[in-house]
Each structure stands twice: as C-alpha cells, then as structure tokens.
Amino acid sequence: MPNSVRETTVSVELQRLDVESQARLDWLLDQNNEGRLTPAEREELQGLVAQYENLLLQNTEALLRVTRPDLVDASGRINQARLTKTARRAARFLRQSSGS
C-alpha cells in the first residue's frame, strides 16, 4: 500500500507596520539614500527600522512555531539551542552541496 500524504492547512497572521508608518519609513529610506535626512529624521528612521525588525522577528517566530514545531519548547518559546544547531546543520549542508 503506497504511503499517503496528509495535507494540513495552517493560518499564520503576520504582523506589518501600519500604512502610515510604512509610507513614512519608505520616504525616510529614500531621503537617507539621497543623503537628505535631518538629525531628527535620522532618529525617526532608526525608530521605524527597529519597529520593522521587531515585527520581522515576531513573524519569523510565528512561522517557526507552525513549520518547525521541533524547535519549540514546552513553554511555546523557540529553543535557541535547537535553532542554532539546525541552522548550522543547514549551513553545512549548503556548503557541501555547492561544492565549496
């Protein structure tokens, strides 16, 4: 009897900056690329980038909880030791498969 594949659908709500913050971040990034930021705008940009990075981290953790439950401990937190070990193993595999 052939192995059957069981499909599961999961839903993960990813976090995003609100529309106004995203528009402001985009504008500040453009101004920064052109060297036109004031010190106050530079500080604002740093704050928005920090918010964006925090949302990316939250989204990454939410996706890991769903796609890699083996990396989640009993309390629901990402097990950093397991994550590090898995990342190192994946990096080794990628290096070996690229012939480096």
22-79 tens-digit pLDDT: 999 999 999 999 999 999 999 999 999 999 999 999 999 999 999 999 999 999 899 9
Residue 73 CB neighbour total at 10 angstroms: 11
Is domain 16-67 classified as CATH 3.90.930? no
Q: Which of 8-12, 14-18, 78-82, 96-100 has the highest mean pLDDT?
A: 14-18
β-sheet bridge partners, residue 66:
none
pTM for the whole structure: 0.74
Burial class (CB in 10 A: 0-12, 13-18, 19+), 71: buried
- The band of 100, judged by pLDDT with boundaries at 50, 70 and 90, is low
Phi, psi of 89 (to 5 degrees): -65, -45
